[in-house]
Amino acid sequence: MAGEGPSAVGRVALVWDEGVASYDLGEGHPLAPVRVELTIDLIRRVGQLGYGVDEVRPAAMSEAELLRLHRDDFVDTVKRLSEDPTATAEAMYGLGPGDTPAFPGMHAASMLVCSGSIEAARQVLEGRADHAFNPAGGLHHAMPGRAAGFCVYNDPAVAIDWLLEHGVERVAYVDVDVHHGDGVEVMFADDPRVLTISLHESGRYLFPGTGDVDDIGGDRARGSAANVPMAPGTTGGVWLETFDAVVEPLVRAFAPDVLVTQLGCDTHATDPLAHLALTVDDMAAAYARLHRLAHEVSDGRWIATGGGGYQLVQVVPRAWTLAFAEMTGRSLPVDTPIDWREVAFERTGITPPPGFTDDPVRVSEAMQQQADRTAREAVLELRRSLFPIHGIRS
């Protein structure tokens, strides 16, 4: 349970602006803003705020900060469709029917998500907080000139770029979303100052179809990316063993000044859009590992964003409340608050979980064997191809 790892120094920021609920891709879309609103409500109700743990509103960001990573023609298209979502746009921009439909106010809402992740970076870099969390962030699929996978602008990449522009020399980005963190990797593939690590379900089975184990960075920065594709049915035990074998040695060897993480919780066994088999307890164990790494290698400087997760009530609020409790070092109750459950049911019609833990997950023996084999092969390949670049002896 959260709170068993290293405790926070006492300064932790929860970045929140209710305006991010306007990042709304439409009725019935899986990336529903209610999942983040219920997360914030749950964090408040379980007593995580106060005494050095504060809600912080993001300051406005400039369009120049956005345009450092996103093409101006794409941003102009987003602005135009924000005014008239029914207008047509070239398919190359990725906006329209399907995963990432245009919606009113899209540009402003997407900018607000990015400014939230910049604010988390600012809080940590300026010493206002040791750890900072923007649960509305984590839109890691957006590309320089294209929206993709529910993501318009890439807020984790914008935050990393902001850190680099403000004097940070090395950033490690760890992405535990079930989908490959392709957009962030693309934006920094040729930048040796950034190490991107993504643990995800294999692209053989899942969007975006990338993130093979032999993808280890661009030509000008070989070793700047690590990808760990996993098979459907991978349980928490296998996932965590793989994390320990890959993430921990790479982050320690890279020795970043700041740790940035994307905490997508669509790895859960019940997530409707993917096929891994983790529980929220497994996720809490991953958060504890990230917390420990931040203190060991980055003097505690840890910036976290949300990401995927499509069990809007059953999983997302609990997972990200566990993550924030890990940041604060404060314990959580065994049960979710009754008043929170009432609000969640009233807003969604979904019966919320009564507690913060899950029952163990079982998968078939055949799936377990495939998952074990796939993870083991990925680790062996990274030890062969990537570890030597970072001076790691396997």
Rounded to a whole number of angstroms, the distance between the first and last alpha carbons of the chain is: 31
| Average predicted confidence (pLDDT) for the chain | 96
Domain count, the chain: 1
The two beta strands, 302-305 and 258-262, are: parallel
* Residue 355 backbone dihedrals phi, psi, to 5 degrees: -135, 175
Retrieve residue 361's tokens. Answer: 């997950």
Share of the chain above pLDDT 70, in %: 97
How large is the average pLDDT for residues 132-151? 98
Domain contains 6: no
* pLDDT surpasses 80 at 394: no
* pLDDT surpasses 60 at 7: no
Retrieve residue 61's tokens. Answer: 């960001």
Q: Domain limits at 234? A: 12-390
Quote the longest CA-to-CA distance of the chain: 56
How large is the average pLDDT for residues 353-381? 97
- 3-class SS of residue 3: coil
CA atoms within 13 A on the CB side of 188: 27
Domain contains 5: no
Q: How do residues 228-270 score in pLDDT, each as one tens digit?
A: 999 999 999 999 999 999 999 999 999 999 999 999 999 999 9
Domain contains 113: yes
Output the domain CATH number for residue 217: 3.40.800.20
Q: How far is CA 70 from the centre of its chain?
A: 19
Residues designated as active site: 141
Q: How do residues 262-310 score in pLDDT, each as one tens digit?
A: 999 999 999 999 999 999 999 999 999 999 999 999 999 999 999 999 9
Separation CA 71–CA 57 (nearest Å): 27
Burial class of residue 129 (count of CB atoms within 10 Å of its CB; 0-12, 13-18, 19+): buried
Domain contains 1: no
- Partnered with residue 235 across adjacent β-strands are 277
Domain contains 286: yes
Domain contains 241: yes
Report pLDDT for 196. Answer: 98
Domain contains 154: yes
Q: How do residues 68-97 score in pLDDT, each as one tens digit?
A: 999 999 999 999 999 999 998 899 999 998
Whether 332 and 51 have beta carbons less than 8 Å apart is answered as no
**Residue count (the chain):** 394
Retrieve residue 30's tokens. Answer: 């899986």
Going across the sheet that includes 194-201, the strands are 53-56, 12-15, 131-134, 302-305, 258-262, 171-175, 194-201, 225-230
Domain contains 4: no
Report pLDDT for 225. Answer: 98
| Dihedral sign for Cα atoms in the order 199, 200, 204, 209 | negative
Report pLDDT for 295. Answer: 97
pTM value surpassing 0.85: yes
